[in-house]
Amino acid sequence: MKILKFGQSTLKDTSSIAKVLDIIVQNPESIVVVSPLFKVSNRLEQIGKLAMVGNNSYKPILQEIEDEHFAIAKHFVDIKHQAKVIAGLKVMLNDLEEILYGVYLLWELSPRTKDHISTYGVKLSAYLMAECLKSKGVEANYFDIQKIIITNDVYGNAEVDKDTSLSNIKEQFGKIKGISVVTGSIGSTYKGESSNFGKSGSSFTSALFANALNAKSIEIYTDRDGILNTDPTLVHNAFSLKEISYAEVMEMSNFGNSFVYPPAIQPAIIKNIPITIKNLYNHSFEGTVIKNAATDKSLIVKANSSVQNVSLINVQGSGMIGVAGVASRVFGTLAHDKISVVMITQASSEHSICLAVKPENGTRAQLALQTEFMEEIREKKMDNISLTKELSIIAIIGENMKQTPGIAGKIFTSLGENRINVIAIAQGSSEYNISVVVEMKDLEKTLNVLHKTLFNNYN
């Protein structure tokens, strides 16, 4: 059993869909998880907003969505079955049109209705792909898994009830043979209402199926060569990684590489199921394999990831030394205000705590901490809480860095020789990650200096 996942970028037109169908045919025992056709999700969101403000220009966009799905059906489905397939698509599209008309009349688009509208993208896509496969003589079945994946009612970013959902998948798909084409990223609340579990939802669906059915592997098809070692828009000779560990992917994701979202693959990680990121449009690229432990020792450092814009909060003062509970108060205050901390570093003297937050949270974090430590600041036990904006974090990541001497020396020597000022440094005890904070204006230069220093021999 293999799980195949196809993102929107692989479902652009008849040419790309032909490639997708060929890959599925070569994997006769598989679960196929699909996203909506290219840009359909964006257009569904757009027409919902247009209908909400009483603008009937949503209708031509809905017609475009219909025309695209019909065109693919006419291209791939045997002519004697086209009427049936188009009728099936039309039923879904009519339901969607009725919902949009209701939004148009009421001038109201609740989060629940917005989620319900979003489900039609994957329903149309999965049904269409299953029918296209049937026309190629393949045993394929379409499954709307909304009632199988159970979530809470936080619409737009629902949390999946993993135990219930995994049990439902085992029960419904444990004995099914052939190819199952399933809807990605959608589920139902405990009340049976449509829900969408947000970021990387189709990847999460894939990981749930892999876990429940003990799949051999997951293959995720995209429009680029797997996971790159750094940002290709800033470093021209960035290269694709052959393999990377789960731990390294988590570190990369935390520091700006959004290609793989760790919570979305967590069900697969639990069972050590390997995940391969492939490029639909480049058959010569074998893919980046994500697995429990990378066996390739040729790279000590795997990647340079970056967070391009952060603000740095500095909490310091002589009155903090030896005083228990200061860190607890700092992070408790930020947690109360729902402010996420990107990076933390603390001097061993306990004189200061430095933390990075997203720029939109910088001033709010500063004010919250000033209020929390008002008495200490007034009594001069603590300095005013300082805020520095327009900074970037660069994370140097690699499992093989652990117990490898000289890495930090190479990093800071190269930065010093290139006159790049390092504002803050953090390293976890795992030794998988060394993070440095620099001014945003130095980000591109820093990434290129580090790439040359750490990957010169690899290129």
Q: Per-residue DSSP letters for 288-304?
A: EEEESS----S-S--EE
Is 270 inside a domain boundary? no
DSSP 345: E
End-to-end CA distance of the chain, in Å?
36
Q: Where are the alpha helices (DSSP H) in 238-306?
A: 246-254, 262-270
Looking at the structure, tell me whether residues 411 and 308 fall in a common domain: yes
Torsion, CA 247, CA 253, CA 256, CA 261, rounded to 10: 170
Q: Are residues 51 and 162 in the same domain?
A: yes
Q: What is the CATH number of the domain that holds 170?
A: 3.40.1160.10
Residue 393: CB atoms within 10 A of its CB come to: 25
Domain final residue pick, 223, 241, 260: 223
Residue 86 lies in a domain: yes
Give the per-residue pLDDT at 326.
87
Cα distances (Å, whole numbers) of residue 423 to 207, 307, 313, 330, 406: 39, 15, 12, 21, 21
Residue 219 shares a structural domain with residue 307: no
- Rounded to 5 degrees, φ, ψ at 107 are 55, 40
Domain for residue 250, yes or no? no
State the greatest distance between any 2 C-alpha atoms of the chain, in Å, as a whole number: 85
Same domain, 198 and 324: no
Decide if 44 contacts 92 (C-beta within 8 A).
no
- Quote the DSSP letter at residue 13: S
Domain end marker among 223, 251, 273: 223
The answer to whether residues 320 and 180 belong to one domain is no
* Whether 309 and 218 share a structural domain: no
**Is 174 contained in some domain?**
yes
* pLDDT given at position 293: 82
7 and 150 both lie in a single domain: yes
Residue 106 is predicted with a pLDDT of 95
Q: 205: closest CA among 126, 111, 312?
A: 126
In a domain, 277, yes or no: no
pLDDT for 170-227, tens place per residue?
999 988 889 999 999 999 999 999 999 877 889 999 999 999 999 999 999 999 999 9
Q: Is residue 246 part of a domain?
A: no
Residue 349 has a pLDDT of: 58
C-alpha distances in Å from residue 29, one per residue of 76, 179, 331, 368: 21, 6, 49, 55
The answer on 335 and 213 residing in a single domain is: no
Quote the domain boundaries for residue 419. Answer: 303-455
Residues 310 and 198 in one domain: no
Do 26 and 144 lie in one domain? The reply is yes
Please give the pLDDT value at position 21.
98
Taking alpha carbons only, the member of 129, 193, 128, 101 closest to residue 155 is 193
Query: Which of 193, 223, 253 delimits the end of a domain?
Result: 223
Q: Is residue 253 part of a domain?
A: no
Tell me: do 93 and 190 sit in the same domain. yes
Tokens of 405: 């001497």
CB 208 within 8 A of CB 163: no
Q: Number of folded domains in the chain?
A: 2
Q: What is the mean pLDDT of each run of 10 residues along the chain (459 residues)?
A: 96 97 95 97 96 95 98 97 97 98 96 96 98 95 96 92 97 92 95 88 94 96 93 92 90 69 86 96 94 82 91 89 85 94 79 92 96 93 94 93 87 96 84 92 96 81
Considering the domain boundaries, does residue 257 fall inside one? Answer: no
pLDDT number for residue 259: 64
CB within 8 A of 8, min separation 6: which ones?
A: 35, 36, 37, 38, 39, 40, 41
Whole-angstrom Cα distance, residue 185 to residue 187?
7
Within this chain, do residues 57 and 174 fall inside the same structural domain, yes or no? yes
Count of other CB atoms within 10 angstroms of residue 439: 16
**CA distances for 105 relative to 47, 51, 330, angstroms:** 14, 8, 49
What pLDDT, on the 0 to 100 scale, is given for residue 348? 63
Q: Please report, for the domain that includes residue 386, its CATH number.
A: 3.30.2130.10
Per DSSP, the chain holds a count of helices (H) and strands (E) of 14, 17
